[in-house]
Amino acid sequence: MMPPPRRLLRFAHRAATLTGLRLALFAALALAASWRPLQQAGGMNDFRDAHLLHSYEDAGTRTVTHYGQLPLWNPWACGGQYALGSPQTRVASPTLLVSTLMGARPAEPLLLWAFLVLGMEGFFHYARRRVGSALGALGAAPLFGLAGFTALSWSIGWLNFAGFLLLPWLLWGTRRAAEGHLRGAVVVAGVFALLLGFGGTYPVPMGALFVALEAGRTLKGLRGTARRTSALWALGATALFTLGACAFRLWPLVETMRSAPRIMAGTPGNSAEELARMLLQLPARSGYSDPGNFFLAPAALALIPLAAWAWRRALYPAVLAALCVWMAAGYSATPSLFGALRLLPVFGTLRYPERFLVPAGFFLAELVALGFAVLLVRVWRVPPARTAASWWPTAAAVACIVIAVGWGFQVRAFDRLSRWSQMVPSPGPIPEEAERPFAQARGNRWAQGYFLALNRGSIACGEAWPVPMSERLRGDLPQEEYLEDAAAGTARRVEWTPNRVTVDVTATRPTVLLVNQNWHPGWKSAEGEVISHQGLLGVRLAQGTHRVVLRFLPRSGIGGAGVSALAWLGMGFVAWRLRGRLGLAAIGVASAPLAAWGVLLVTSTEPVARAVPLNPDGTPMFVTAPPADAKPLGAKFDVPVELVAAEVPPAPDAEGLIHMVLYWRVTGPVPRSVGIFVHLPGPPGSKRKNADHPVLGGTFFLAGAPRDVLLRDAFSVSTKDWDAGERKVLVGLWQAEGDGSRIGGRGADGKPLASSHVEAGTLTVPPKPQSEEKP
C-alpha cells in the first residue's frame, strides 16, 4: 500500500485532470472574486471611460434588440461612428449575444465571471503542457486568472481588457498548431478573432507578440529539420487562417485607423519600486490605489526558486518575465525596451508600459507552477521506506497550504480592486423610437451613458483616437434631416433606424439633403448621390420628389465578414478533407480567403475617407506658403528639418493667451525621438516658461510628418501666471524621447545656431491688472 503522501498526491493529481472538478474549483473561485460586481449588476459605472465604453455596448445591444439590425453604425456616439471600425467597441464579439439576452449592464459581471473561468482553465492547459504537472498547473492557474488588473479593468469600465485572460489559450494553441494539430490553429484564429471583436486594443498586439515568441520557443524545442519544417508550414497555415478569421474586424479597423491615425507621445515610466508595489502589494481596502493593481500573491511566488531545479524549463518564462518587467518600466529604464517596441507599427500607440505586468504575471505564474511541480516530483521520488524521514513531503504540504492561501489573497485583492467601481443607479430603460425619436444632443462624453437613455446622441466625444467628425454637427436642430437650402423644399423623416434612414424630400430645385450625422463611405443610397458635406452625411438630389433610403453597408464590414466566413469554411475543409493536417495543402486553403479579400479590395469601389490633418485649434496643417506677415527664419537643422517661418504676436490677447505658429518642412527621415522645444525666457528672475511639443499640431511626429510640404504648427499658451516683461521665443529641436540633447543647425545666413535655437520673435507680457495679482 502506498504511504499517505503518495496516495494524497495521486488523488490530487487525478482530481486536477478531471475537467468537471477543475472547472468547479475555478468557477467557485471566480464566483467569490466577482461576487461584488455581480451584486452591482444593472447599475451604471459612473467612471468617465465606463460611460464611453459601456455606451458602445448599450448602443450595439439596442441596435439588435430594438431595430433588429447588426451593430454596424452607432449613431449615438460622436455624431455617428462606424462601430466595427472603432477599436474599443465589443459589439463584434459573440458576447453581444449575452448582452442582448440579459441587457448590456447585467451581462457585464457575468462576462467577467466567464472570462475568469476561461483564464484559469486556459492557464491550466498551457502550464500543464509546459511544466508537465497537472497539479502544478492547477495550483498556479488562479494566480494568473485572478490577477489584479482584471479587477481594476472591471472597476473603471474596461471590460475589454479581460481579453488578457485568453493569452494562455493563444500560447497553448500556438504550440498545438506548431505540433501540427488543426485544433491549435482553430484556437489561435478563434481567440484572436474574439479578442479583436471584444475591443482588445492591448491584448491583441501584446498577444501577437507573445504568440510569435511562443512559436519560436516551440520551433526551438523541436528536433530535426523535418519536424521543424512541418511546424513552419503549420504555423504559416495558422497565421493565414487567423488573418482571414479576423478580417471582419481587422479590415474596418485598418481602414478607420488609416483615415484617423492615433498619435501617442510622451515618455511614461515606472520605477522598480513602483512596479514591485503594483505587483506585490495588497490593494487598499477602498480599492483606490495604484499599489496592487496587478496583484499576484507574493506568498505563492516563494515557490519560484524551486523552479531552478528544472532550469531548462524555467529559463524561457524567467527571461520573458524579466523582459516584461523591463518593458513595464517604460522610459524609466535605460535603455528603454518599451521605447524600442514603440518604434514598431501598431505598438507605437501603446500608452501604458505597466500593462506589461500582465504577461509578467503570467510567466511568473508559470514559474510558480514549475516550482510546485518540482516539489511534487521530489516527493514522488522519495522511496516509500524513507517517506517518514524525508522532509520533501512536509515541504509539499506547506507548499499546498501556501498555494491555497495565495488563492485566498488573490480573491481578496480582486474584491478590493472591484470596490473602485463607481456604480450609480441605472438611468432606466431606453424609450422606444416612436415614443421619443432619435436626435443628436450636444451631449457630454463624461455622462454619455445618460444620453443613450434619452435616445439622444452625444456629439461631444472623448475617444482615444481622433474620430472623423464633422464640425457641422449640431445639438439644437428642430429636425435631424434637413435641406442645405431651406428654401429649396421640404424633408420629412419617414423611418429612422441606426443603419437605415428614410426621408421624403420634395425639392423645388437641385439641393442637398443633410443628415445630422457623420459621413462615412459605407453610407449608400439608391436615390441621389451620397456625399460628405464638410464631414456631414449628405445626399445630392435633383429637383423633384424623392424617397431617400440611406443604408449603411460598409464594404470593409460586410466584405470582411465574408472573408472570415471563408476562413472558417477553409478550416472546416482542412478538418474534413485533409484530416486536419496543417501542411502545404492547408496553406493553399488558408490563402483562398485572403485572395478573395484581395479581389474585393481591387474590384469593389467605395470612396476612401482621408485623414484631414488639423491643428488643435481646428486650422489646417498643410499650407502652400507662410502668410506675408510671418517672420522668415530659414533655419536648417542637423536632421532633415527646416524651420521656415514663424508668427509670434507682440502681446497676449484680451484673455492673456498667446497664439503662435511655426512653419516647418521635413525633407528626409527623422528619428521618432526628435521633438520641438519652444523656450520663452523672460526678464531676470522671472519663471522660465516653455511650449515644448514633441508632436506637430498634435498630429505628426516629425518622424511621421509628410515630406517636402509646408507644415503649419499652431499652438497656444496662457500667460495667466507669467511675470510682466519682454520675452524671447526661442525654437529648436531636441531629443525629446532620448537623452534630452539639442540638435544643432544653421541659420538662414549659414552660420551655426547659437545654443542650437532660433529666435522666432519677441513678445511683451503686460503687467496684470491689480485685481488679478496675487495677494
Partner 1 sequence: MGATWRRAAHLGWLVFALCGAAAVVRASTARLPPPPQRLSPTLREQVGHAAANQEAEWRRKARQSFPGDHWSQDDDFGAAERKWAVDEAHRRGVPVTEVLEAIDAELHSRPVQPPRKATASPCKPRPFYD
> Looking at beta carbons only, is 478 or 668 nearer to partner 1?
478
Amino acid at 43: G
> Looking at beta carbons only, is 216 or 431 nearer to partner 1?
431
> Looking at beta carbons only, is 310 or 464 nearer to partner 1?
464
CA distance 137 to 126: 8
Q: Which residues contact 27 (CB under 8 A, 6 or more apart)?
A: 113, 117
CB of 377 to partner 1, least distance (A): 23
Report the residue from 136, 292, 466, 554 that binds partner 1 according to the rule CB under 8 A. Answer: 466
Based on the shown chain and the rule CB under 8 A, indicate whether residue 694 belongs to the binding site for partner 1.
yes
Cα dihedral 245, 251, 252, 253 in deg (nearest 10): 90
**Interface segment toward partner 1; rule CB under 8 A; list 131-139, 236-244, 245-253, 449-457:** 449-457
CB of 393 to partner 1, least distance (A): 24
**Angle at alpha carbon of residue 767, lines to 765 and 768, rounded to 5°:** 110
CB of 270 to partner 1, least distance (A): 10
Beta-sheet pairing, 481-483 with 489-496: unpaired
Instruction: Dump strand ranges (E) for 434-553.
Output: 439-441, 456-458, 481-483, 489-496, 500-507, 511-518, 523-525, 529-533, 536-541, 544-552
Based on the shown chain and the rule CB under 8 A, indicate whether residue 677 belongs to the binding site for partner 1.
no
* Residue list 703-732, contact with partner 1 (CB under 8 A): 714-718, 720
**Residue bearing cell 438630389:** 541
Report the residue from 257, 323, 397, 464 that binds partner 1 according to the rule CB under 8 A. Answer: 464
CA distance 593 to 412: 47
* Residue list 318-357, contact with partner 1 (CB under 8 A): 351
* Residue list 646-675, contact with partner 1 (CB under 8 A): 655-659
* Residue list 152-191, contact with partner 1 (CB under 8 A): none
Q: Please return the burial class of 238, using the count of CB atoms within 10 Å of its CB with bins 0-12, 13-18 and 19+.
A: buried
Cis, bond preceding 427 (omega within 30 deg of 0): no
Report the residue from 12, 222, 232, 263 that binds partner 1 according to the rule CB under 8 A. Answer: 263
Report the residue from 208, 265, 377, 710 that binds partner 1 according to the rule CB under 8 A. Answer: 265
Half-sphere exposure of 272 toward its Cβ, with a 13 Å CA cutoff?
3
**Interface segment toward partner 1; rule CB under 8 A; list 63-71, 171-179, 455-463, 597-605:** 455-463
Per DSSP, helices labelled H in 179-271 are 182-197, 203-221, 225-245, 247-259
> Looking at beta carbons only, is 21 or 315 nearer to partner 1?
21
CB of 363 to partner 1, least distance (A): 26
> Looking at beta carbons only, is 718 or 762 nearer to partner 1?
718
Report the residue from 456, 555, 636, 727 that binds partner 1 according to the rule CB under 8 A. Answer: 456
Nearest to 373 by CA among 539, 137, 533: 137
> Looking at beta carbons only, is 279 or 614 nearer to partner 1?
614
* Residue list 470-509, contact with partner 1 (CB under 8 A): 470-478
**Interface segment toward partner 1; rule CB under 8 A; list 132-140, 142-150, 200-208, 442-450:** 442-450
Size of the site for partner 1 (CB under 8 A): 96
Per DSSP, helices labelled H in 40-103 are 48-67, 95-102
> Looking at beta carbons only, is 470 or 756 nearer to partner 1?
470
CB-CB contact of 399 with 281 (8 Å):
no
Beta-sheet pairing, 439-441 with 456-458: parallel
CB of 184 to partner 1, least distance (A): 25
Per DSSP, helices labelled H in 72-164 are 95-102, 104-131, 134-145, 148-155
Report the residue from 6, 13, 66, 262 that binds partner 1 according to the rule CB under 8 A. Answer: 262
- Alpha-carbon torsion 64, 478, 79, 481, what sign? positive
CB of 701 to partner 1, least distance (A): 9
CA distance 539 to 135: 65
Report the residue from 1, 19, 335, 579 that binds partner 1 according to the rule CB under 8 A. Answer: 19
CB of 23 to partner 1, least distance (A): 4
CB-CB contact of 413 with 151 (8 Å):
yes
* Residue list 530-569, contact with partner 1 (CB under 8 A): 535
Beta-sheet pairing, 758-765 with 742-743: unpaired
CA distance 48 to 53: 9
* Residue list 407-426, contact with partner 1 (CB under 8 A): 423-426
CB of 556 to partner 1, least distance (A): 21
Report the residue from 145, 190, 698, 732 that binds partner 1 according to the rule CB under 8 A. Answer: 698
Amino acid at 73: W
Nearest to 716 by CA among 768, 670, 657, 676: 657
The whole-angstrom distance between residue 328's C-alpha and the CA centroid of its chain comes to 16
Report the residue from 7, 14, 547, 707 that binds partner 1 according to the rule CB under 8 A. Answer: 14
CB of 688 to partner 1, least distance (A): 18
**Interface segment toward partner 1; rule CB under 8 A; list 24-32, 189-197, 408-416, 540-548:** 24-32
Report the residue from 428, 437, 632, 669 that binds partner 1 according to the rule CB under 8 A. Answer: 428
Report the residue from 6, 12, 13, 27 that binds partner 1 according to the rule CB under 8 A. Answer: 27
> Looking at beta carbons only, is 183 or 351 nearer to partner 1?
351
Nearest to 15 by CA among 25, 5, 6: 25
Report the residue from 9, 16, 33, 43 that binds partner 1 according to the rule CB under 8 A. Answer: 43
Nearest to 683 by CA among 729, 731, 718, 725: 725
CB-CB contact of 103 with 58 (8 Å):
no
* Residue list 218-257, contact with partner 1 (CB under 8 A): none
Q: What residues are paired with 532 via a beta bridge?
A: 537
> Looking at beta carbons only, is 746 or 768 nearer to partner 1?
768
Helical (H) or strand (E) element with 327: helix 311-328
* Residue list 517-536, contact with partner 1 (CB under 8 A): 535
CA distance 122 to 26: 11
* Residue list 56-85, contact with partner 1 (CB under 8 A): 78-79
* Residue list 266-285, contact with partner 1 (CB under 8 A): 266-268
Mapped onto helix, strand or coil, the DSSP state of residue 729 is strand
> Looking at beta carbons only, is 485 or 653 nearer to partner 1?
653
CB of 247 to partner 1, least distance (A): 27
Binding track, positions 588-627, relative to partner 1; x by CB under 8 A: --------------------------xxxxx---------
Binding track, positions 104-143, relative to partner 1; x by CB under 8 A: --xx-xx--x------------------------------
For the chain, counts of helices (H) and of strands (E): 22, 27
> Looking at beta carbons only, is 441 or 575 nearer to partner 1?
441
Report the residue from 5, 9, 16, 40 that binds partner 1 according to the rule CB under 8 A. Answer: 40
Amino acid at 710: L
CB-CB contact of 207 with 167 (8 Å):
yes
Nearest to 29 by CA among 162, 119, 101: 119
Amino acid at 746: R
Based on the shown chain and the rule CB under 8 A, indicate whether residue 41 belongs to the binding site for partner 1.
yes
> Looking at beta carbons only, is 22 or 546 nearer to partner 1?
22
Amino acid at 182: L
CB of 456 to partner 1, least distance (A): 6
Nearest to 550 by CA among 517, 583, 507, 586: 517
